[in-house]
């Protein structure tokens, strides 16, 4: 039975080849000072930067830049961004990039007017925002995180060897998001497939929880089938607009909070992957793919019925004359074969992780209680060890 919940998503989303034109109507809602946030400079090479700057200037905005946001944004970088936003007296933070840039922009947004230690307040104590925020808008150039339509922000603290996400409330959601699938065409294959797997993992983290007949699970199965189909096409032809647009739209729905409704949700793959990321600084989606199969095979006995349903409804496993466990295992085998075909990282050693890091990664793994088994330290060690 689905429990009580409230659903609200205040982000206004513009999708399609002409989506960037909608930036004009959004900019009119904010003051003159805009902090433009982006990553390593790819948006300058592919022309997106020039298009955004032209629109900002045409709308009479004073632009302050905050470049160099790294794939796993650090707390030091967030503090730098806070200083820039304060100096600019920014009326709007415009994030142009992928999920890391959007995550970073939200972390800066909630910290500009905060007079406390932002790492302790938001990422250790997980407290709500108690100060005025600076609104955020997103122009997406890489898909995977769904950060363009949620309140999530994942930040790394290298000194403490921690990578932690805080899911802020709806007031922190981007006010608007602009999604043009063509903006993702220039991504290297490694980044594209990493994003694809991040999408899949988001859906599975919510799907593999609960035992009731929940509408959210039917939505998840449809999203997964669409993602698998489009990913197969995109890997062969990265410029296939239909496939890339379906992937982009699926990424948003995977984590805009809708399919989590009525679910306890798991999130242990992300907790394991983030611990790996804290030590290796590896690409997020690849840290997830490296720990996925060991984790799901470890917890399969505790949620066999759901894994069997997944095998049948997503991977097309024929159930006749097979036990529930056999069906479930065949589903994971098909998933693993697909992951390998896509070119995903399947072992931690391929991300630069070493056995010497194991103790630290175990201690850095946060635990969640919404899945089919609550892991203790022994369990975490077993899963991470198998991931090598």
Rounded to 10 deg, the angle between the 215-236 and 304-313 helix axes is 50
Grouped pLDDT means (10 residues each) for the chain, 388 residues: 83 98 97 97 94 98 98 97 98 97 98 97 96 98 96 96 95 98 96 98 98 96 98 98 98 97 96 97 97 98 98 98 98 98 98 97 97 98 98
Tokens of 97: 């990039």
pLDDT of residue 367: 97
CATH 1.20.1090.10, the chain: domain bounds: 189-386
Task: Report how far residue 177's alpha carbon sits from residue 46's, in angstroms, rounded to the nearest whole number.
Answer: 19
CATH 3.40.50.1970, the chain: domain bounds: 12-183
> Could you tell me the fold of the domain covering 189-386?
Dehydroquinate synthase-like, alpha domain (1.20.1090)
pLDDT of residue 200: 98
pTM (2 d.p.) = 0.96
Task: Name the helix (H) or strand (E) containing 331.
Answer: helix 324-342
Tokens of 179: 């999604």
Output the CATH code of domain 12-183.
3.40.50.1970
Strand partners, 163: 156
């Amino acid at each position: 039975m689905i429990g009580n919940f409230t659903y609200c998503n205040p982000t206004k989303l513009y999708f399609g080849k002409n989506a960037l034109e909608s930036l004009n109507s959004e900019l009119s809602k904010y003051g003159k000072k805009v902090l433009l946030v982006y990553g390593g400079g790819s948006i300058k090479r592919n022309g997106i930067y020039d298009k955004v700057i032209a629109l900002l200037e045409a709308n009479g905005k004073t632009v302050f830049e905050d470049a160099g946001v790294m794939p796993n944004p650090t707390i030091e970088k967030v503090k730098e961004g806070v200083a820039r936003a304060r100096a600019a007296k920014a009326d709007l933070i415009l994030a142009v990039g992928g999920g890391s840039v959007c995550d970073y922009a939200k972390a800066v947004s909630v910290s500009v007017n905060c007079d406390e230690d932002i790492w302790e307040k938001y990422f250790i104590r997980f407290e709500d925002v108690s100060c005025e925020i600076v609104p955020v808008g997103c122009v997406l150039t890489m898909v995977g995180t769904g950060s363009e339509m949620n309140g999530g922000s994942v930040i790394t603290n290298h000194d403490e060897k921690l990578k932690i996400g805080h899911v802020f409330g709806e007031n922190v959601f981007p006010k608007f998001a602009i999604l043009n699938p063509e903006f993702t065409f220039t991504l290297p294959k490694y980044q594209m497939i990493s994003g694809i797997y991040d999408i899949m993992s988001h859906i599975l983290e919510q799907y593999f929880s609960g035992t009731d007949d929940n509408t959210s699970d039917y939505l998840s199965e449809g999203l997964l089938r669409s993602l698998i189909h489009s990913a197969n096409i995109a890997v062969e032809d990265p410029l296939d607009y239909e496939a890339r647009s379906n992937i982009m739209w699926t990424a948003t729905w995977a984590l805009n909070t809708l399919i989590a409704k009525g679910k306890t949700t798991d999130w242990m793959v992300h907790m394991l992957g983030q611990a790996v990321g804290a030590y290796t600084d590896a690409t997020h989606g690849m840290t997830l793919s490296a720990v996925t199969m060991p984790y799901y095979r470890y917890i399969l006995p505790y949620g066999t019925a759901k894994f069997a349903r997944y095998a049948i409804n997503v991977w097309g496993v024929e159930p006749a004359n097979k036990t529930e466990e056999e069906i479930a295992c065949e589903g994971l085998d098909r998933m693993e074969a697909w992951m390998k075909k896509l070119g995903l990282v399947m072992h931690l050693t391929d991300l630069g992780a070493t056995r010497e890091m194991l103790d630290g990664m175990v201690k850095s793994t946060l635990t969640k209680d919404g899945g089919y088994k609550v892991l203790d330290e022994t369990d975490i060690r077993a899963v991470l060890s198998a991931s090598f």
